[in-house]
A and B are shown apart, each in its own frame.
Chain A
Amino acid sequence: MGSAETHNQSREAVLARIRAALKAQAVRPEPATHSPVFPPVGKDLLATFHAACAANLMELVVTRSWDETAGALRAALTSVPTGEVFVEDAPELRQSVDSLETPVRWSSKGIPQENAVATITGCEALVAATGTIVVASERGGRGGSVVAPCHIVVARESQLVPDLEAAFAHLRAESIAERNSFVGFITGCSRTADIEKIIVIGAHGPRRVVVILQMDS
């Protein structure tokens, strides 16, 4: 489409109209005081995150070692029907997943299939106040967190941040938005309320989201 782009005559026309329009000054809105708009986040991020997960209908399992994490993964998968599990190809996940009996497709070997029964990925951060999981392309791709009916996230305690503001500061500090063409903030399960405003869990994405959070020893 290179040709269309070089012949995008309207680009200059639209920009010229914008610049001409902005010559007239608009009145500034009533200034904000910039005092906090959200209640302060409690010191205990784990407890805050736990409560937010419960409100968002996400499961949270706290573990203390890689062995416990592997056990939690196995437990989470027992209620998943048999079938292929898609896993982000990361060293920590290799360690925990190798002991599973289910057929696994590693992210290095292709994208999650239409019939994948679950996906397992890491994350960039967990937001305590909102119960949000931040993922990006490098965590199992764009499909890794949305294609299967069950998404299991393996995270470390150090990945907990208090609120969205801190999450964006983390994205900036780690250049995550620069490094990835996709960054996703996931808060709860796929849902819809398009029929009479009745909430139904499990529209096109996962109906079950499990966070396995390993404490830093």
Chain B
Amino acid sequence: MRSSAAAEFLRKAAEKAADVAHRQTIRRNISSYDLSVGRGKLRFSDWEEARRRCAEIKWEAINHLDKYLLEFEQKVQARGGHVFWASNAEEARQYIEDLVTSRGVKLVVKAKSMVTEEIHLASALERRGVEVLETDLGEFIVQLRKEPPYHIVTPAMHLSRADISRLFREKLEGVTSDEPEELVAAARRALRKAFFAADVGITGANFLVADAGMIALTTNEGNARLCTALPRIHVAVAGIEKVIPRLADLALLWPTLATAGTGQHLTTYNTLIGGPRQPGEQDGPEEFHVILLDNGRTELLADPEQRDVLHCIRCGACLNACPVYRTVGGHTYATTYPGPIGSVLTPHLRGLEGWQHLSYASSLCGNCTSVCPVRIDLHHHLLHNRRNAVEKTRHGWLENVSFRAWRWTMMSSARFGFAGRVGRFAVRFVNKLGLSGTIIDPMRTWTRHRSLPEVPRESFRQLWRKRHGQR
């Protein structure tokens, strides 16, 4: 059965695939990314070994998840931080809503975080009358446009500088050109006061470091650093899969994340935070809260075949590598996590029934798997999801009957031969009448964008018999 999300996906995919301006913008962005990543990999003497080591580190963490989360929790609490475990999005939101209400919070500054998108945190806080400002430039831009992020690393990838300039002229002061320097300066001015005025800074976490009891944040702009230095409360939201065993693992994970994410060798600011301001420290928040979010992750953990999907470090490389993502664009997926990783993950987070169609939003070329810095077997997981969808979801009677008929036909050489004769005749007939791709063509989904080949009169078996005699 096709869900409404699937129908909407097909509609938007067709629209975006034909949008030439969109394709140009994405091509420009991703070409520049490819160039940069190519250079970045040269800083490694053995990129493949780096990938294997990262996969080992994440395997170790995910397959001992309880142990490392408890170690992380204990160390954060020892520094006076709070750790809250949330089973689902609602519990996580509720905790933060209660926190901002009880502390009389008016203004929240937010660093870039996909998990806060996943739990729809900003809109929940806004309903409570709290102003929430995204401070990452890309997120700030899409927030002004009231759009979700287009990409997990580059939220405004779909916009040209002219689009952004138009937006800023409308919403901000002092913008006269579409020079990136001027646009960045305008955003800096607009957000500068907010950093100093905000009561709460909300961030995600790129890693939760178990042996240090610290969260690791990676940012180029410095916005996450201001969010965690100036407001009096810091709230970090992280999926439970973000944990890693040791601080020293970052010596490899940081360069690998940066290289796969942007092509930089190291992102400008790699920051570790382990608690609120300690006695003797000059600044930092009075309160530090970490929310450990499950929200479907333990279900994925329970499937040893697909458990490695939890290794993902959200670098975005598979999105950039995916021919489908590049054609249909990030918003078409209508998911928090788009692209190959999102197509694998979303059926687990939101249900296989409504989201299995994403398993088919792939050419199975395997480019995603080959670029993944933690070696997640993404395209095979798309196949696993397809198989699971067949096993676990309901199907129309037509599909069931068709496959039974197909199986019956394939089980006998005579029936197969007969079906071939009928098929060849039908294709010739349809081609001759020019019906291919029209409304009455039952194969229309396939043939409206493709022409059927000329079909020979005789089958391979008939030709063989003719040339080699009966055997």
Contact = CB atoms under 8 A, between A and B. Distances in A.
Interface string A182-200: 1111111111111111101
A141 B281 contact: yes
Interface in B215-249: 220-223, 225-226, 228-230, 240, 247-248
B247 A195 contact: no
A141 B137 contact: no
Given A183-B272, A203-B188, A111 B91 contact: no
Contact of B65 (A18, A132, A171): A18
B270 A8 contact: no
Contacts of A164: 250-251, 254-255
Given A10-B91, A28-B59, A111 B283 contact: yes
Contacts of A1: 82, 98-99, 102, 287, 289
Contacts of B292: 14
Candidate in A24, A25, A38, A108 with the most chain B CB atoms within 10 angstroms: A38
Interface stretch (A29-37, A75-83, A92-100, A152-160): A29-37
**Size range of the interface on A?**
35 or more
Contact of B52 (A18, A22, A31, A202): A31
A21 B298 contact: yes
Interface string B125-152: 0000000000111100100000000000
Interface in B96-136: 98-99, 102, 135-136
Nearest to B102: A1
A37 B44 contact: yes
Contacts, number: 289
Contacts of A30: 52, 55, 375
Interface residues of B, number: 113
A40 to B, nearest CB: 8
A204 B226 contact: yes
Interface of B: 25, 28-29, 32-33, 36, 43-47, 49-50, 52-53, 55-56, 59, 62-66, 69-70, 79, 82-87, 91, 95, 98-99, 102, 135-138, 141, 154-156, 159-161, 164, 180-181, 183-185, 187-188, 191-193, 195-196, 212, 214, 220-223, 225-226, 228-230, 240, 247-248, 250-252, 254-255, 262, 265-278, 281-284, 287-289, 292, 294, 298-299, 301-304, 307-308, 375
Given A21-B302, A142-B225, 20 more contacts: A4-B82, A10-B86, A14-B294, A24-B303, A35-B49, A107-B282, A137-B278, A137-B281, A141-B283, A177-B274, A180-B278, A181-B79, A181-B284, A182-B229, A193-B154, A194-B141, A194-B156, A195-B164, A202-B185, A204-B192
